[in-house]
Amino acid sequence: MTKVKAFAAPSEGAPLVATIVDRRDVGPDDVQFDVLFCGICHSDIHTVRGEWGKQTYPLSPGHELAGKVTAVGKNVTKFKIGDHVGVGCLVNSCLNCEPCKTGHEQFCQNGAIFTYGSTDRDGTVTQGGYTQSAVINHNFVVSIPKNLPLDAAAPLLCAGSTLWAPLKRWNAGPGKKVAIIGFGGLGHVGLKLAKAMGAEVTVLSHSDKKKEDALKMGAFAFHKMDKAAFDSLKENFDLILNTVSVTVDTAGYYELLKFDGAFVVIGADPTPTVSLSTSVGVSKQRVFTLSLISGVQETQDMLNFCGEHNVLPEIEVIPASYINEAFDRVVASDVRYRFVIDNSTM
């Protein structure tokens, strides 16, 4: 066991404080790496503030880890010391069930183990990336292309992979009109990915504040959503991705789908509702679904794509002492567009 510097919430809703977490010794299948940067995902905030149910504390969140390998176990051939690596939302699964075997480890039938707050197979509760070092099974470690700076690459590990999976699944590309609801950490990466895939991307936001930024990042159009916008955009999109962290007018947005379009819930709305009447929903062959992060291979594919197309999140690098203020700013939609912790400051 190694003691590692970290930031963690001591109890539900309490500010995060400097602390120490235990990391296991490097096993034969493990990769140990210095976590140099970790993005702040809104899920970290939902979790430590108790918005997603009871947790075990102290809890160090963070599932956008980027760093450099410091040791590998004897069975590990894919990584060597010094490699640039990342870990997203998953650190373990059975690897034998159908979802695991088809690259969807997040739906492991024997229980996916998430990067923080999950009880791992050895009975310990997982601790996330707000820490200076991590030891993770090599099957859940991905390579970060050398041309991507580690600080800006960090948010790709959750935000990037979470948007990549539904964009690929629903064939975002030339000729497809994609709408992204919510222009935050996930939303802005979704715009960059979909644009690089060749789709026409429209951003739907709750204010006008981010219009200029969205257009600069390649949006075809930007709308502050009010009644006139809802009316003018009816049956307009092939794919709509909802990345908002609060409840939205799901039924209203669903009407913006074309025939055969798909609406994907990604944000944390716990009770998305839409009326699937035969006249409005089913008769137009529209799909209504949810998407949960992505599998490990999909995450690697996304990173390779970002390396090739130079897709990089917009970040603000912060010292660890700023984490609590950063949380408040994320909740207030006052982040442009992802906070990334410089873990050397812990």
Q: How far is the CB of 44 from ligand NAP (least distance, A)?
A: 8
Tell me the per-residue interface mask from 285 to 324 with ligand NAP, x by CB under 6 A, - otherwise.
Answer: ------xxx-------------------------------
Q: Work out whether 267 is an interface residue with ligand NAP (CB under 6 A).
A: yes
- Show the site string, 118-147: x = touches ligand NAP by CB under 6 A, - = not: ------------------------------
Q: Return the range that interacts with ligand NAP (CB under 6 A); candidates 11-19, 64-72, 79-87, 185-193.
A: 185-193
- Binding flag, residue 280, ligand NAP (CB under 6 A): no
Q: What residues contact 214, with CB distance under 8 A and at least 6 apart?
A: 183, 188, 191, 203, 205, 222
Query: Which residue type is seen at 18?
Result: A
One of 32, 92, 243, 343 touching ligand NAP (CB under 6 A): 243
CB of 19 to ligand NAP, least distance (A): 23
Q: Compute the distance between CA of residue 81 and CA of residue 34 in angstroms, rounded to an integer.
A: 11
- Looking at beta carbons only, is 23 or 155 nearer to ligand NAP? 155
CB nearer to ligand NAP: pick between 65 and 330: 330
| Binding status of residue 43 toward ligand NAP by CB under 6 A | yes
The DSSP code for 131 is B
Compute the distance between CA of residue 258 and CA of residue 277 in angstroms, rounded to an integer: 15
**DSSP, residue by residue, 261-324:** EEEEE-S--SS------TTTTGGGT-EEEE-----HHHHHHHHHHHHHHT----EEEEEGGGHH
Does residue 93 bind ligand NAP (CB under 6 A)? no
Rounded CA Rg of the chain: 20
Contact pick of 58, 185, 272, 281 for ligand NAP (by CB under 6 A): 185
Residue 283, C-beta contacts closer than 8 angstroms, at least 6 positions apart: none
Stretch that binds ligand NAP, among 6-14, 18-26, 28-36, 240-248 (CB under 6 A): 240-248
Residue number with the smallest Cβ distance to ligand NAP: 184
DSSP 8-state code for residue 56? -
For residues 153 and 312, what is the distance between their CA atoms, to the nearest angstrom? 6
Please tell me the distance from the alpha carbon of residue 40 to that of residue 235, in angstroms, as a whole number.
Answer: 34
User: Which residues contribute to the site for ligand NAP (CB under 6 A)?
Assistant: 41-43, 46, 158, 162, 182-187, 205-207, 210, 243-246, 266-268, 291-293, 330, 333, 335
